[in-house]
Amino acid sequence: MSSEGVLKEIQTIGEKFLLKLQKLPKADPVEIVSFCVVLLFIVTVLVLMIIACSCCCYSCCSCDGHPDHRRRKIQDRPAAR
């Protein structure tokens, strides 16, 4: 899919979302609750993805962008008898 197609698809989704928001005050209570649940689910997934990516990036790269070599696992050597 080309970048123009993606932009057009995002614009279409945004327009549908705005239309849904405009109709929300006149909607049934069940529809309002279901819309809020779906919105809460989407926000939760996005927040969890941000947390997971930041934790992964922090453990791999540290904050300054250099890998932290001290975090590498050290292999144990068998004890000599």
CA torsion 19-22-25-27 (nearest 10°) is -20
Domain count, the chain: 1
The conformation of residue 18, written as its DSSP 8-state character, comes to H
The domain of 47 spans: 28-61
Assigned domain for 52 exists: yes
Q: Encode pLDDT of 43-69 as tens digits.
A: 999 999 999 888 877 667 665 555 555
Please give the share of the chain, as a percent, with pLDDT higher than 90.
31
- Mean pLDDT (the chain) is 81
Is the CB of residue 53 less than 8 Å from the CB of residue 59?
no
Assigned domain for 18 exists: no
- Please provide the DSSP assignment of 20-80 as one string: HHHHGGGS-HHHHHHHHHHHHHHHHHHHHHHHHHHHHHHHHHTTTSS--GGGSPPPPPPPP
Token readout for 13 is 């989704």
pLDDT confidence tier of residue 33, bands split at 50, 70 and 90: very high
Assigned domain for 5 exists: no
Assigned domain for 80 exists: no
Assigned domain for 76 exists: no
Assigned domain for 54 exists: yes
